[in-house]
Structure 1
Amino acid sequence: MNYRAIAHPIGHLLLLIAFLMLIPAGVDGFFGNPDWIVFLKSFVIVGGIGALTTTAFYGEAPLYRFRDAVIFVNAAWLVFSLAGAMPLYESSLNISFTDAFFEAASGLTTTGSTVLTGLDNLPPGILLWRSLLQWIGGIGVVALGIWLLPGLRVAGSQLFAIESSENTTKPYGRVSPFVIRLLSLYAGLTLACTFSYMAVGMSPFNAINHAFTTVSTGGFSTSDMSFGQFSGIGAYWVAIIFMLASSVPFLYLIRTMEQRNLAFDPQILALLIVCFVGSFAVFLAERFIVHDTPFHMFTLATFNVVSVISTTGYAANDYLKFGPLVVCIFFILTFFGGCSGSTSGGFKMFRLTILSNYILGLSRRIVRPHRIISTRYRGEPVSSPILEGVLVFAVLYTATFSLFAGIYAAAGLDLETALSASITALANVGPGVGNTIGPSGTFQTLPDPVKWMLAFQMILGRLEILVGLLIFTPDFWLDK
């Protein structure tokens, strides 16, 4: 194992995390909140560890192997969750380290589940730090690591492919030009979202925080009411537009902005269809319960559906109060997710499209056994490795969801909460269903062992399951 190949980039990224801590420190200092000292101390500690690690493993660019890349990705999410938890634990929140780690892991994985209450009265630095964690996690600390390490070359593209699920590992020949375009797009979306929120009446502080958590499809808010704190309907449509934009493959957006002629991606069409059908179904279900104007009801229904499918996790209202049918719809939508190569989590529309085409082909072969039918995507046959990967992921996704749900049920959670907690963590959605962890609840009352398991499951979901599970297989550690 090449320890320098793993530790050196982690040291660089710890320095990045440390310097980002100066932003909430400055905000708290400006507003006279004493937590600025906590962020400053965390900056010194995390920055010191990052500087020492970088110096200790300094040298020529090391040769990377696939095993080094996998260990780096896993270690990065764990280390950065610990670093992100430090100011939360030491702050005036007065929470346990378990809660601090859960909140940080939920932020970095853009899950959006929270253990905090009274958000409306929290110090501005804490609120901004939570939003920054999601913004960092949205683009992926691994992608930032590649940008900081131009010497990675081939291994760099492998690292980015592991993090973002992007199948085109070298779309621009080298990693650096692609990452620069990626970061420019991400920053541009964030700025556009911020100004759009301000244009519809949000305060600058709220606009910045919600832009960070909208573009990252993270879902942390500055109020216990989440998006319900905003009365203007414009804010909801701004959020809908940018949640959808952030759920589309970033490579597709980049090439569209470069005015390249691209065939329409079927997974984008699938995303739009599922969002429309889900929104219309929720709207019809609520139509007989809620007495409101149709457009306002449709807006809230669309907002909540897009929020869940994009794995953002905002809530406009407690939609679980509208009956078992609505609860069932949102529970099913939790499994979907956005497109591959976006900031969204979940099963991903790319896999759902291929899987549905494969199942359709099987059904047609049952009717006509001698007919040769291949699974296609964009009109081209899907290669066997990709098809096998989708099928294996589907099995692992189902098995992981079921296993963790069983563990949570054995730990004392009721069946509804156990099932919901498992899928919302695995898909990085945020709120679940039920009275405890629904859109109007928090994860605060869950037992500490369950919180640690949920945090681990969030990271596992962010790493597309297989990358996280590889390190537990004996063959992975055998020298070749």
Structure 2
Amino acid sequence: MNFRTIALPIGRLLLLISLLMIIPAIADVFAENPDWQVFLVSALVLGTAGVLMTMAFHGENPPENFREALIFVNAAWFAFSFAGSIPFFFSGLGINFTDAFFETASGLTTTGSTILTGLDHLPPGILLWRALLQWIGGIGVVAIGIWLLPGLRVGGSQLFSLESSESTTKPYGHVGPFVYRLLVLYAGLTLSCLALYQLCGMDFFDAVVHAMTTVSTGGFSTSDQSFGQFSGTSVYWVATVFMLSSSFPFLFLIRSIERRQAGSDAQILLLLIIVTIASFSVFLLERFIVLDTPFHMFTLATFNVVSVITTTGYAANDYLQFGPAVVAIFFVLTFFGGCSGSTSGGFKMFRVAILTSYVQSLLRRLIRPHRVLEPKFQGRRVSNSVLEGILVFAVLYAGAFAGFAIVYMMLGLDPITALSASITALANVGPGVGDTIGPSGTFQSLPDLAKWFLAIEMILGRLEILAGILILTPDFWLE
């Protein structure tokens, strides 16, 4: 195991972080907020560390085998999380390092859980830094690392497949052309979302922040009210469209734009079906409780459903006040997530589709034992290796959810909060259910140890569990 090959890209990532910190520093300079000094000094320190690491390990080959790629994936997320915590810790927020790390990890993993209150009165640098963390996290620290490492070939495709769950490791023959198209698409979606938000009445700063956190399906906002600060219905529909678009497979979007995509994608269809059913269910249930125009109620219901299922985490209102049935719907939606190869977290729709097909084939064989029925996805037979991997992932996913929930209960959280906190961190959703961590609450009051476990669970969920668990197995470290 050559750890020098891992240190080189980590150094380049530190350089990237330091450059990003200049942006909120400039925002604070214009706002005459003293935190610009914190961002500038942090940028200089991290930039110096990045330069020294890059020079020290210059000439090393980038990670090319599976194990080195796996270590780099984990090291990149934790290194970025620790480095990104520095401005939060030394700023005027007055928070401890636990809270700073939690906020950073939540941003980079596009979870959207927060420990901050009084967002309406925070300086622009902090708000912009939170949005930048989510925007970078949405495209993926690992994908950015591939872009910065032009010499990466086989390892590059491994890294990107680990991060994005994209089964097609080389859709364009080489990683470079695909990453280029990915970045162009991501930037295009962000700019389009920004322009439409401004047309809907947002000021420029709010539009910038929310465009970045919408397209990244992150959910950080500039107000404690989240999207409830905005009036009218048009802004909610713009957000809904872009949240859904960002939860579609990016390879599908790229090929559709290039007119290379034939037919539909089964996981997109499944996502839209679930969104439709859940939106109408929430709308019908709320009609018995809320006095409002039907269209406005349906708009908010759809917005909240899409926000949760795409793991964005915005809130238009406190939907948990509409009765236990609505709470149950949103709790179940937390488990699903968006499509594979998107910025969304969660279990992912392609796994739901394949497991559903597998269960159907089992039930049919029970009725007619002599029939030969195999699970299929988009009309194609699912290989045993793929099915085995999904079943293992499902078991690990359920085990991680239950295991972390037990830890949170042992740390003093009530069962509802513990279960909700566990799945919202693992699925990278953001708000949970209950009075403490619901849409109108924050994670501030949780014990510090619980916040560390939640931050680790967020990163584990962003790496889709396997990438984090494999490095803990003894066999991984054996030559």
TM-score scaled by structure 2? 0.99
> One-letter code of the match for 2:449?
P
Percent sequence identity over aligned pairs: 70
How far apart, in 1, do the equivalents of 2:379 and 2:304 lie?
33
How far apart, in 2, do the equivalents of 1:62 and 1:409 lie?
42
Give the aligned partner of residue 457 of structure 1: 457
The structural deviation recorded for 1:263 is 2.3
Q: How many positions carry a matched residue from both structures?
A: 479
Give SS of 1:313's match.
Answer: coil
How far apart, in 1, do the equivalents of 2:378 and 2:98 lie?
46
Give the aligned partner of residue 297 of structure 1: 297
How far apart, in 1, do the equivalents of 2:182 and 2:267 lie?
20
Tell me, yes or no, if the aligned pair for 1:311 and 1:337 is still in contact at 8 Å: yes
The structural deviation recorded for 1:61 is 2.7
Give deviations 1:36-87, integer Å, cap 9, x for gaps.
0000010011111111111111115346211100000000000000011000
> One-letter code of the match for 1:421?
A
Give the aligned partner of residue 352 of structure 1: 352
Give the aligned partner of residue 61 of structure 1: 61
Give the aligned partner of residue 333 of structure 2: 333
How far apart, in 2, do the equivalents of 1:452 and 1:113 lie?
13
Tell me, yes or no, if the aligned pair for 1:2 and 1:64 is still in contact at 8 Å: no
Q: Is structure 2 residue 277 aligned with structure 1 residue 268?
A: no
Deviates more, 1:103-112 or 1:373-382: 373-382
How far apart, in 2, do the equivalents of 1:159 and 1:262 lie?
27
- In the superposition, relative to structure 1, how do residues 423 and 276 fare at CA in structure 2: closer, same or farther (>3 Å)? same
Give deviations 1:340-374, integer Å, cap 9, x for gaps.
00000000000000000000000000000010001
Give the aligned partner of residue 165 of structure 1: 165
Give the aligned partner of residue 373 of structure 1: 373
Give the aligned partner of residue 435 of structure 2: 435
> One-letter code of the match for 2:88?
L
Tell me, yes or no, if the aligned pair for 2:105 and 2:455 is still in contact at 8 Å: yes
> One-letter code of the match for 2:413?
L
TM-score scaled by structure 1? 0.99
> One-letter code of the match for 1:400?
A
Superposed counterparts of 1:343-422, under 5 Å: 343-422=343-422
Tell me, yes or no, if the aligned pair for 2:6 and 2:62 is still in contact at 8 Å: no
Give the aligned partner of residue 447 of structure 2: 447
Give the aligned partner of residue 238 of structure 1: 238
- In the superposition, relative to structure 1, how do residues 426 and 63 fare at CA in structure 2: closer, same or farther (>3 Å)? closer
Give the aligned partner of residue 185 of structure 1: 185
- In the superposition, relative to structure 1, how do residues 422 and 62 fare at CA in structure 2: closer, same or farther (>3 Å)? closer
How far apart, in 2, do the equivalents of 1:88 and 1:115 lie?
11
How far apart, in 2, do the equivalents of 1:409 and 1:63 lie?
40
How far apart, in 2, do the equivalents of 1:234 and 1:64 lie?
47
Superposed counterparts of 1:108-119, under 5 Å: 108-119=108-119
Give the aligned partner of residue 342 of structure 2: 342
> One-letter code of the match for 2:295?
F
Tell me, yes or no, if the aligned pair for 1:249 and 1:342 is still in contact at 8 Å: yes
The structural deviation recorded for 1:151 is 1.0
> One-letter code of the match for 2:336?
F
How far apart, in 2, do the equivalents of 1:63 and 1:244 lie?
34
How far apart, in 1, do the equivalents of 2:367 and 2:135 lie?
49
How far apart, in 2, do the equivalents of 1:93 and 1:295 lie?
40
How far apart, in 2, do the equivalents of 1:339 and 1:5 lie?
32
Give SS of 2:454's match.
Answer: helix
How far apart, in 1, do the equivalents of 2:301 and 2:459 lie?
29
The structural deviation recorded for 1:298 is 0.2
How far apart, in 2, do the equivalents of 1:109 and 1:439 lie?
19
Deviates more, 1:259-268 or 1:464-473: 259-268
> One-letter code of the match for 2:16?
L
Give the aligned partner of residue 288 of structure 1: 288
How far apart, in 1, do the equivalents of 2:400 and 2:106 lie?
18
Give the aligned partner of residue 125 of structure 1: 125
How far apart, in 2, do the equivalents of 1:338 and 1:24 lie?
30
How far apart, in 1, do the equivalents of 2:119 and 2:289 lie?
30
Superposed counterparts of 1:82-93, under 5 Å: 82-93=82-93
The structural deviation recorded for 1:437 is 0.1
CA RMSD of aligned residues (A): 0.7
Give SS of 2:64's match.
Answer: coil
Tell me, yes or no, if the aligned pair for 2:9 and 2:62 is still in contact at 8 Å: no
Tell me, yes or no, if the aligned pair for 1:278 and 1:329 is still in contact at 8 Å: yes
Give SS of 2:151's match.
Answer: helix
Give the aligned partner of residue 216 of structure 2: 216
Give SS of 1:347's match.
Answer: coil
How far apart, in 1, do the equivalents of 2:476 and 2:368 lie?
42
How far apart, in 2, do the equivalents of 1:147 and 1:323 lie?
47
Give SS of 1:151's match.
Answer: coil
Give deviations 1:446-470, integer Å, cap 9, x for gaps.
0000000000000000000010011
Give deviations 1:366-416, integer Å, cap 9, x for gaps.
000010001111111011111111111111110100000011011110000
Moved over 6 A (4+): none
Give the aligned partner of residue 323 of structure 2: 323
Tell me, yes or no, if the aligned pair for 2:5 and 2:60 is still in contact at 8 Å: no
> One-letter code of the match for 1:271?
L
Give SS of 2:277's match.
Answer: helix
How far apart, in 1, do the equivalents of 2:62 and 2:322 lie?
57
How far apart, in 2, do the equivalents of 1:134 and 1:243 lie?
14
- In the superposition, relative to structure 1, how do residues 254 and 230 fare at CA in structure 2: closer, same or farther (>3 Å)? same
The runs of 5 or more residues in structure 2 that have no matched partner are none
Tell me, yes or no, if the aligned pair for 2:107 and 2:218 is still in contact at 8 Å: yes
Give deviations 1:258-302, integer Å, cap 9, x for gaps.
011422110000000011111011001101000000000000000
The structural deviation recorded for 1:4 is 2.0
Give deviations 1:213-255, integer Å, cap 9, x for gaps.
0000000000000000001211100000000000000000000
Tell me, yes or no, if the aligned pair for 1:112 and 1:429 is still in contact at 8 Å: yes
Tell me, yes or no, if the aligned pair for 2:346 and 2:461 is still in contact at 8 Å: yes
How far apart, in 1, do the equivalents of 2:38 and 2:62 lie?
36
